[in-house]
């Protein structure tokens, strides 16, 4: 392996290099159509599966723990709640439709892909993670007493790969003309107007003077909000929902001190660097080769679930003429969870969807385990 997993400086160099490549790609025509988000995930998947970079590393673990709690405040400074309330009323409805699609997909997959006695457990686990997140996945595994270590390892590998591939697929939808025609998106139109662009995710490169005070103040506030948010969550006995407290604190400057928020220049760029690095880690953890072995049936099982989820959500969205950007981020909130949905909305320039995405993702975390255990119990009867 070119980069040892225990060489933290080398791994951090890879993460920053991957983020830099994703940022550069967005300045090219092909990169603008894919978006830096997809470039970061795909690049990491290629490098890790060619054994050039590690698939797991203590540095990755540190990045996953710290990048998003810092990125969220950096991306939310200056966000207007008034605009969110006005423009994103369909997000919750889209999320609930997507969750229903996940439940249907889990029931269909349990019948279509034979996985023996573990089938009901896996249906519940994947339903839980594709409504909530990894914590729900593990919680359902424990609640249903899945003790087969090999099956558990295969399930985790399948989940990582399917999540990465799905995010790539769903984030590419806004670049497809037919999807934009079937599901017109005022959110995308506003974002394009705000950034003077015509393609989704297409932003011109603008060179601005470096303001050391603004950058360091933004970072100081972001770290302070992350620390305070998790402290408050622990104090309230809601440690698993610390990201919600961080998000609430991050909204304060835009509501209480908009003039201060307007002076925090450069924070969005810093937040996007963190997002690219986070997504790079997600891509690196996806083991493509494992899917060619014992994990292939589990992989197909997970693919069928997200395929049904996607068909239900976007089919309903087309019929109801729902906003394409809202559907994309609601789907990400289901499959990827709040930690990826909010930053992905910001990566596309859909700032008004960031907070609703985080809130819907948190709702998924709250209900995912109950739904997963319910599905596993129902199928095991």
What H or E segment, with its residue span, contains residue 270? helix 267-284
* CB-CB contact of 58 with 5 (8 Å): yes
Give me the pLDDT at residue 84, please: 52
At 56, is the pLDDT very low, low, confident or very high (cuts 50, 70, 90)?
Answer: confident
80-84, 96-100, 267-271, 370-374, range with greatest mean pLDDT: 96-100
- Measure Cα distances from 6 to 53, 61, 62, 228 in Å: 11, 12, 12, 30
Asked if residue 182 has pLDDT above 70, the reply is yes
Sole residue written with tokens 């991306």: 75
Give me the pLDDT at residue 133, please: 78
Asked if residue 249 has pLDDT above 70, the reply is yes
How big is the chain by its Cα radius of gyration, in Å?
20
Exposure class string for 175-185: b at 16+ Cβ within 10 A, else e: beeebbeebeb
Domain ranges in the chain are 63-199+211-266+281-380
* CB-CB contact of 164 with 369 (8 Å): no
Longest distance between any two alpha carbons in the chain, whole Å: 65
Enumerate residues 6+ apart whose C-beta is below 8 A from 166: 306, 310, 335, 336
Pairwise CA distance, residues 209 & 227, whole Å? 30
At 153, is the pLDDT very low, low, confident or very high (cuts 50, 70, 90)?
Answer: low
Asked if residue 99 has pLDDT above 80, the reply is yes
Stated pTM of the model: 0.66
Candidates 14, 25, 108; CA nearest to 60 is 14
Pairwise CA distance, residues 102 & 163, whole Å? 13
Pairwise CA distance, residues 120 & 102, whole Å? 14
Give me the pLDDT at residue 378, please: 92
31-45, 107-121, 177-191, 259-273, range with greatest mean pLDDT: 107-121
Q: Read off the pLDDT of each residue in 209-231 and give the average, rounded to a whole number.
A: 85
Q: Read off the pLDDT of each residue in 42-46 and give the average, rounded to a whole number.
A: 86
Average pLDDT, the chain: 81
Asked if residue 183 has pLDDT above 70, the reply is yes
Sole residue written with tokens 């303001």: 211
Candidates 353, 380, 377, 381; CA nearest to 128 is 377
DSSP string, 330-371: HHHHHHT-HHHHHHHHHHTT-GGGHHHHHHHHHHHHHHHHHH
Structure tokens, 268? 């969005």
List, in sequence order, the alpha helices (H) in 242-337: 242-256, 258-263, 267-284, 288-291, 296-320, 324-335
* pLDDT single digits (tens) 293-346: 667 888 899 999 999 999 999 999 999 888 888 999 999 999 887 677 877 887
Of the listed ranges 68-77, 239-248, 313-322, 351-360, the one predicted with least confidence: 239-248
């Amino acid at each position: 392996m070119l980069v040892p997993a225990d060489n933290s400086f080398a791994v951090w160099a890879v993460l920053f290099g991957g983020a830099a490549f994703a940022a550069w790609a967005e300045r090219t025509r092909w990169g603008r159509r894919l978006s830096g988000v997809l470039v970061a995930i795909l690049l990491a998947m290629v490098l890790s599966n060619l054994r050039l970079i590690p698939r797991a590393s203590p540095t990755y673990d540190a990045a996953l723990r710290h990048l998003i709690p810092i990125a969220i405040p950096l991306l939310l400074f200056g966000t207007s709640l008034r605009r969110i309330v006005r423009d994103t009323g369909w997000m919750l409805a889209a999320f609930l439709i997507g969750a229903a699609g996940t439940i249907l997909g889990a029931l269909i997959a349990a019948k279509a892909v034979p996985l023996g006695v573990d089938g009901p457990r896996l249906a519940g686990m994947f339903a839980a993670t594709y409504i909530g997140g990894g914590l729900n996945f593990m919680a359902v595994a424990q609640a249903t007493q899945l003790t087969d270590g090999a099956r558990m390892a295969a399930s985790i590998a399948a989940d990582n790969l399917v999540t990465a591939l799905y995010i790539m697929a769903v984030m590419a939808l806004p670049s497809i003309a037919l999807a934009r025609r079937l599901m017109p998106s005022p959110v995308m139109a506003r974002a394009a107007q705000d950034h003077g662009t015509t393609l989704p995710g297409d932003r011109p490169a603008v060179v601005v003077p470096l303001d050391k005070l603004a950058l360091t103040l933004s970072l100081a506030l972001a770290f302070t909000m992350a620390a305070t948010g998790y402290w408050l969550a622990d104090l309230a006995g809601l440690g698993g929902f610390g990201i919600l407290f961080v998000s609430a604190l991050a909204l304060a400057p835009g509501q209480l001190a908009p003039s201060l928020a307007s002076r925090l220049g450069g924070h969005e760029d810093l937040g996007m660097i963190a997002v690219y690095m986070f997504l790079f880690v997600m891509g690196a953890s996806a083991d493509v080769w494992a899917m060619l072995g014992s994990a292939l049936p589990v992989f197909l099982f997970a693919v069928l679930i997200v395929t049904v989820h996607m068909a239900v959500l976007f089919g309903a969205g087309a019929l109801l003429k729902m906003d394409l950007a809202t559907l994309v981020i609601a789907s990400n909130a289901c499959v990827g969870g709040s930690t990826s949905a909010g930053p992905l909305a910001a990566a596309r320039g859909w700032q008004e969807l960031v907070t609703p995405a985080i809130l819907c993702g948190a709702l998924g975390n709250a209900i995912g385990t109950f739904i997963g255990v319910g599905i596993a119990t129902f199928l095991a009867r």
